[in-house]
Structure formats: C-alpha cells, structure tokens
Structure 1
Amino acid sequence: MSVSEPAPRSVPEPAPGSASRRQVLARSGAVAAGIAFTGALGELFAGTAAAQSLGHRGYGPLVPDPDGLLDLPKGFRYRVLSREGEALRSGEGPVPSNHDGMAAFPARRGGVHLVRNHENRAGGRVPVPTVEGLTYDPAGKGGCTALTLDSHDRVLAERVAIAGTAVNCAGGPTPWHTWLTCEETEDRAGTNGYTKDHGFIFEVDPADPHRTGAVPLTAMGRFQHEAIAVDPRRGVVYETEDAFERPFGLFYRFLPEKPLGGTGSLRAGGRLQAMRVPGVPDLSSIQETGAVFDGVEWADVPDPLATGTPVRLQDFGKRGITHAQKLEGCYWGGRSVYFVSSFARSAQGSAADHYGQIWRYEPDRRRLTLVIVFGPDTEVQLPGESPDNICLAPSGGLMVCEDGDGAQHVFGVTRHGEVYPMARNAQNTGTAEAPEYGEFAGVTFSPDGGTMYVNCYTPGTTFAVTGPWRR
C-alpha cells in the first residue's frame, strides 16, 4: 500500500459470534498515571463468562478488517502512515523494518511530529539509511525515523532522525519535546562488525534532527536500555534495563547536572544510580498487589560505562542491589514513575513466576508499590501475559501493547480497572494452519488526544487510529 495519503478505512458491522479474548488482572489499589483505579481492581475476567462479557466493555467487540491489516471496534478508522520497504518521503532510502517505540509531539498548525524507533540488529531486514551528520556508527542498522503529519494525519514529511545505532527498542519523551531513544544491547566495538561501543541513550529532536545529531549520552549508562521516563518537576530520568540473562536488569535513575532547560541539559553529565529495595533482591518474589516498600534506596553505579563489567554485575556493596526480569515500559504520571516487568520465569533464573507486573515509585515518599499483576494465562490464544509498551489514554486510563504468543492486541484499561480490546493485528505472517502475528509497539496519542498512533513490529507498519474516543 502506498504511503501517499492512503484513504482511512471504515470498520464494518461485527461478524456474528465474534468474541474477544480475556484478560486477568489481580487486585490492586492502583493509582495509575495520576488517575485512580477506584477501589480494588479485583480479578476481572477469570472465566468463560467473563471472556464473553469483555466485548460489552470499552468500545465493543473488534470487527475483522476486510483488508486484513487492523481489527478495530465499530466506529473507528485507521490510516496507514508508513510501511517498511516503501520509500521515505525524504528520498534517503526505504522505510526501515522492526517498528518499535514511538512518541508524538506538537507541530505547527495543529500538526504532529512522530518519532519512531527501529529495533534493527546486525543483519536486519531493512536497515535505517545512513545520513551525514545523523550517523553514530556506520555499521549500526538501527535508529529512528521522523514523520511530520498535518492536522488530518496526512504525511507531509518522513526522514531519518538518527542512524548507525543498534537495537533501538523503546525510549521516552522529554518535557522539552525531544525523544530519548534507547539501545537494547551491550555490544562493543568489534562485535557484529560495529566500529563503536553500543548500549547508550541518544537524544532526537523530531523537528530538527540535525540539532541533536548522533551523540551518545554516556553518563546515562551503557547497558541494555529499554525505556525512560522524565520527572517534569526535577528533571530526573528513570531508566529500565531489559537484560536477557541472570542476573537480570536494574531500575535506574539519572540525576543530571543540569536537570531541566532543554538543549544540552543531558549532555552536561550527571550521576547514574540503581534502585535498592531493602530485603528484596528480586522483584519477582513479590506476588501480592498493593505490597508497599518504604525507604527505597539508590546506590551509585560504580562504572556507568561498563568498561570492564556489565552494570548489573558490578559490586554494589554488602547490601546488594534489586534485580527484575524483563523490565520494559516506563512512564511518568501524576507524581510517580511507573515501570513494567513483562514477565518472570523461575526456570530462567527469577525468584518466582509472574505474567507481568506494573510498579509505581513515588519519589517524594521513597515508596515502591506493586499496583497491577497480569495473568495467569492458560491458552496461547488468550491474553494475560507480557505487557510491554504502555501509555495514557485520553479517557484517563491506559493503553497496553501485548507482546506474547498467539494473536496480538492493544488493550485499554479504564479508570475503573476494566480491560477491553482496542486493536488486533490482522497481518498474518505465518500460514493459515500456523498463523503468526507481530507484536504491537509504540502506542501513543496525538497532543490533542484525537488520534492513537501505534506500530506493528513486523511487518513494520505505523497506523493512525481515529474514532469516538471518550474523554
């Protein structure tokens, strides 16, 4: 499909007997993103009857897309903004593959700047084209592209925003309207053909990528970065680490020398610290939602550049440090930072098993709370595991990208804790007998809340979804 102003797709009436998949959330006294989930969430959809009732929550059941791209509730439409392999509007090369984290920023005349990660490794399908002044390591295949949209979500421009990086997974926006893109790798120069060390955060200006260039923010650490969130009052940057081997990743905070002020504030350096929860070496050991830990500590990272030893393996003293498997999504809401552990498996080295957790840290109180637990799941075709990218919805709830087995969804969570399906990937990359679907990633909303943007990881596709969003 051409990227040149494709027509929006309308969603027809639902097919008879169409059913949603179920989601299970354990009880929580959650205050998510500054919005209270009133009372305890409770186990919402624990059985077949609950699964059938899911379609009556949210915006109704998902309707099969006759074009086989994106299933949405009745009344919603999508526009394909960009697909991998097609030509960038800039003429710099093809749209790269592996669409991942993304954020939306205001542009002139009601338009939108989108910044999109490409999680390409060495040998990736469609690498990010190298561009003079925007390339960190010519051997790196990852990076970001930037789209400029008008007020009707028509693509005005599409170009490379940073190139020569590696495994750009997630990241996060800053209060001064730049994007921090994160490399989820620890590969050094000489590995996989790289000419420079990787594992850094880079700042990207969506309006003028050459203003920020391709400069690693080395003081923020060199490790398998996943996502970030910025405290807009203090300028503290929180960072998650998605380490693949035991000991698993850490939750970090970066205290910049120049905490706010826009351009150059993060390049001035600062202190990198890792979270220590006294008496809790592994967050997966906590199973009860509502569990609260006061007196959270922060330990200075001995060697943020990991020149000899990966950060998570460094010596943090006799009191140790707190680890967690699959630390992924991270976002700021109200006066707290929230972060996601997608899952934990004891067979892989975690202290206990879970199907996804959302934690809240309150800096003012130095308090950590387990607010949501996902799962368990019993069938591949049912949800309940591996929450990944996450963002605020205009209604005050959350949108959660699923990254598990079987069909892939974007799920909404209302302010009352009700979970509903918002979108389903209809692009089958397998066969009719053994279907496969790429995960969703990078869910975000336009500054006015009127459009949801979301990526399908593979085949790389960026959608703009409009409809009767409830405020």
Structure 2
Amino acid sequence: MSVARRSVLRGAAAGAAGVGFATVGTVPSLAEATPGPRQSPYPTHRPFPPLLDDPDGILALPPGFKYRIVTRAGETKLTTGQPTPSLHDGTAVFDAGRNKYLLIQNHEVGSASELGVPPIEGTVYDAGVGAAGGCTVISVDRDGKNLGEWVGISGTLTNCAGGHTPWGTWLTCEETESKANGTTRLKDHGYVFEVWGDGKTAHPVPLKALGRYAHEALAVDKDRNHIYLSEDASGPNGLFYRWSAPHGYKLGPTSWRQLADVGFGTLEAMAILGDDGKPIPDVAYLTSAQLLRPFRVAWVPVPDRDAVSVSCRKQFTDDKVTRGKKFEGVFGTDEGVYVVNSYAEAGTTDLPGDAVPHDGMVWFYNYQARTIQLVTYFPDNAAADKGSEARYDDYNFDSPDNVTVTPWGSLVLAEDGNASSHVLSSTPGGPTYAIVRNMLNDSEFTGPAFSDDGKVLFVNMQTPGITFAITGPWRDYLG
C-alpha cells in the first residue's frame, strides 16, 4: 500500500540463533520451547553483489540477472479486449504445468477515476461504479512471456494483498472498511474473497467469517485449521488476527461456502505477553534488543467481527491486545507465519507513549510453541527524512511491505518507503541486501512471488502498474 510518510534505516540488527528443544525429562524453558525459523541467523550463501544500473532506466539488478515486462497498465490487453487495470499489488504464482505459470494479481483500485478491473459477468461482487478493484489472472511461460490475462474477480474495492491457499487458489483482501452508500457502493466492503485461476470458476462471495476490516494479507496454516490475517489501519493502530476452524473441520476447495457465514469458526486478535503476563500495548515497545527472543502469545475473541457499528480494532481496549502501525505482509511456512510492520514514525499519534520509532519489523509466529519472535528490525533513521542522498543508495532501506519466503527459506521484502524503492533479500537475524532498485520513479514494489522451481521472481511496480519476471542465478545467492 502507498504511504504518505517516508523514512530510512541504516543497517539491520543481528542476533543469535534460536534454541532447540530441551532433553526428555526436563521442563523446557520458553526459549527452548520456541525453535526459531529454520534459517541460520547468518547466510552461508554468497552475498548479493552491487546492483547495476539499467540503460533503459527501469530496474537496477545484480550482474547476471535480467527482467521481462509481463503486463503494463493501460497498454497490455485482457483476453476480453480491455486494457490491463492499474495499481498492481499482492500477487501469487502457481505452477500450471506444461512449462507455464499462473499469476493471480490484486489491483488496489479505490475509485472509479482509476483504471479499474472491468466488471465481467459472473465475477462481480458489487455493481456500483465505485467498486472498481479486483484481481486479474495472467498466464505466462517459464521465461515470463505473457500468454493471456483475464478477470478473476471484480466489483471489489482496494484489493491490497492476500495469500495463496494449499488447494491452489488466492484469497484477496480488501483494505477498506467502506460501507454501502446506495450509489457508488451498493454493498459493504472490507472482506476477503477467494479467487480461482482457471478462467471458469468464480464465486464473488465475501468470506464474512474472516471479519470486516482493513485487511492487508493472510496465510493459511499447513494443517488447514487456521488463517492468520493482518490489518493495515490507524487511529488506533491495527491488529494481527487468527481465524480458527470448528473442531474437526479442515479448510479446502469448497470452504468458501462455510466461510461466507459470519459466525463460522472463531476470529481472535493477538496479544503479545510481557514477562508480567500482561499484553504489550504495541509492537513498537519492542526493539532490536529483543531480536529472536520468544514472547508468549494469547488470542482474544473479536466480539463483532462484521463490525456492524464499531470497527473490529476499536472493540478492544489497549490493555487487551497488541497493536501495530501498518501490519502488512504475511507469509506462512510449515513451522509458522511471518508478519511485517512497515514503520512507526516519531512525533505522531500512531506511536503510543514512550514506544520506540522504527522503520520496519518482521515477526515470526511459531505455530507449535505459540510464541512470536522479532526476526528483522530496521531502526529509525530520522536524519534521512531531511533530504539525505542516502535515501537513494542501496544500503539504506525503510518500510518493508509485502513479504514472501523463497524456495530456499530466506525472505524477500518489497519496500514501500522514501525515495528509491527496493526489493530486498533478508535473512532472519542476519543481513539485508538490495536485489532490485526502481530506477523509473519512486513508486513502491508490490507482490514479490517466486515460482516453485526458484527460476523466476515476479514482482510489480505499483505505479505506473508493471509486472516483471526477473530471472538469473537466484540459487547461487539464495540457495
């Protein structure tokens, strides 16, 4: 998501590795009960070399890498003849067989004045002219060549990020709390929808069980019992949520029918517990000094998940949950789920009490231990807000947004910060490298997603709306 404020970090903090389980017959300590992410805190692979400027002035890449433009808003065409919509955002990539991939891509369109997703019959949720968001599906070959693009869902609003499912679909998130107004919006918004990539299946049905709020991203756990969801909101700051299935139920290809029921399963908000057992009011109270330290987590039921009269996050007092400025990207692994906080700016009402400003946090929630760890921390660099040229180099980063896990276990982050935007390679507990730089403008990158075979990184430049397929020796640096 685009942000008005910008600031820059200088370097990432590093920490020690997670600790294994205690021996049989002993009572494990909190640290021993919380294995960290499988990655080493320091990479054993080669560091990324300096980026090389692009003679075409679009993307700076490491030596040996190249890009291909897959779609461009207003220029490439859908199979139905309309131009590719604008504001590319969260994206998933699926193996389609026969040397092809399918991308399912959000378009964060929030008004009819933008180049929206055309309302193709059978894909429309809200027929109001103001509901111009949605998703397109793009077929590409193994080199990233565009083989066709079509509409997966339309009539939604401000589709920001989302998450892939184990059964091969995409859950797209509306980052809004807008209600029907009888004119431009005929239905309430702020929901999650399921999107299929086959060009035939479409069920534009809100999954009300997952709540109505400013959704950002989500992840389904490996056991198909839970969905973890982030909220990008302020006044007060947003929350991190968990949806739990009823006992004995497993999510699957037809779950959209049950999830359409607002009362199905349980929706809860996260509380990170301090040493006194009380919720830490905001993630910004924690800093790099707590890097890789596990904190216990409690989950607190949301009273009215459809937010009929009061927003979900406003239904809690600050002593019950843990808030965070800009809960953004979410990505799940077999062991747990990563979630990003983009920043917390000094001198604003979004930074509570004596909390510490920062330029980015990445967290890892461990399913088994039910604990959360800070695994990447970008400290605040206020000096860079005053016009420093460091904002344009490849060492100072800020405001991570979307996140994905590479086939080799490290992280790729899309920067939505000040001046030059980057795509970043980050090792939990270790260093962060720039792997792509936007040379065209200061627009954010969105939707990084690796093909399962690790050959192609797909990523978007939100404005002017371009999808790139980047190929090169990824395994040499990430494997």
Same fold (TM over 0.5): yes
1:12 corresponds to: none
Q: What does 1:117-156 correspond to in 2, within 5 Å?
A: 117-139=106-128, 140-156=131-147
Q: CA deviation at 1:420?
A: 1.7
1:13 corresponds to: none
> Retained in 2: the 8 A contact 1:375–1:384?
no
> Retained in 1: the 8 A contact 2:14–2:431?
no
Q: What does 1:54-203 correspond to in 2, within 5 Å?
A: 58-139=47-128, 140-190=131-181, 193-203=184-194
1:28 corresponds to: 15
Match status 1:331 vs 2:331: yes
2:453 partner amino acid: D
Q: Secondary structure at the match of 2:458?
A: strand
Q: Secondary structure at the match of 1:66?
A: coil
What do the CA deviations read for 1:32-63 (whole angstroms, capped 9, x no partner)? 99432336x9xxxxxxxxxxxxxx96332211
> Retained in 2: the 8 A contact 1:386–1:403?
yes
Q: What does 1:61-460 correspond to in 2, within 5 Å?
A: 61-139=50-128, 140-190=131-181, 193-208=184-199, 210-243=200-233, 245-257=234-246, 259-268=249-258, 269-278=264-273, 279=278, 280-287=280-287, 288-290=289-291, 292=293, 294-315=295-316, 320-346=320-346, 347-351=348-352, 352=355, 353-377=357-381, 378-379=383-384, 380-382=391-393, 383-414=396-427, 417-428=430-441, 437-460=442-465
Q: CA deviation at 1:125?
A: 2.2
Q: Secondary structure at the match of 1:89?
A: coil
1:61–1:133: structure 2 CA closer, same or farther, 3 Å change rule? same
What do the CA deviations read for 1:345-380 (whole angstroms, capped 9, x no partner)? 241332221111111211222212222211333323
How many angstroms apart in 2 are the aligned matches of 1:253 and 1:259?
Answer: 16
Q: Secondary structure at the match of 2:98?
A: helix
Q: Secondary structure at the match of 1:391?
A: strand
TM-score (norm 2): 0.83
1:18 corresponds to: none
- The unaligned stretches of length 5 or more in structure 2 are 1-7, 19-34, 259-263, 385-390
Q: Alignment identity in percent? A: 40
After the TM superposition, which of the residue ranges 260-269 and 447-456 deviates more from structure 2? 260-269
> Retained in 2: the 8 A contact 1:87–1:95?
yes
> Retained in 1: the 8 A contact 2:90–2:161?
yes
- The unaligned stretches of length 5 or more in structure 1 are 1-20, 42-55, 429-436
> Retained in 2: the 8 A contact 1:119–1:143?
yes
Q: CA deviation at 1:281?
A: 1.4
After the TM superposition, which of the residue ranges 458-467 and 365-374 deviates more from structure 2? 365-374
1:259–1:452: structure 2 CA closer, same or farther, 3 Å change rule? farther
1:22–1:348: structure 2 CA closer, same or farther, 3 Å change rule? closer
Q: Secondary structure at the match of 1:114?
A: strand
1:381 partner amino acid: Y
After the TM superposition, which of the residue ranges 446-455 and 345-354 deviates more from structure 2? 345-354
If asked which structure has higher relative contact order (CA below 8 Å, sep 6+), I would say 2
1:226 partner amino acid: E
How many angstroms apart in 2 are the aligned matches of 1:311 and 1:405?
Answer: 30
Q: 1:37 aligns with which of 32, 37, 40?
A: 40
Q: Secondary structure at the match of 2:201?
A: helix
> Retained in 2: the 8 A contact 1:294–1:365?
no
How many angstroms apart in 2 are the aligned matches of 1:291 and 1:425?
Answer: 31
2:4 corresponds to: none
Q: CA deviation at 1:400?
A: 1.0
Q: CA deviation at 1:71?
A: 1.4
Name the Cα RMSD after superposition. 2.4
1:291–1:422: structure 2 CA closer, same or farther, 3 Å change rule? closer
1:328–1:22: structure 2 CA closer, same or farther, 3 Å change rule? closer
Q: CA deviation at 1:341?
A: 0.5
1:89–1:405: structure 2 CA closer, same or farther, 3 Å change rule? same
Q: How many pairs align? A: 425
1:441 partner amino acid: T
1:340–1:408: structure 2 CA closer, same or farther, 3 Å change rule? same
How many angstroms apart in 1 are the aligned matches of 2:17 and 2:210?
Answer: 30
How many angstroms apart in 1 are the aligned matches of 2:94 and 2:62?
Answer: 26
1:399 partner amino acid: V
> Retained in 1: the 8 A contact 2:138–2:146?
yes
How many angstroms apart in 2 are the aligned matches of 1:407 and 1:205?
Answer: 34
Q: CA deviation at 1:293?
A: 5.2
TM-score (norm 1): 0.85
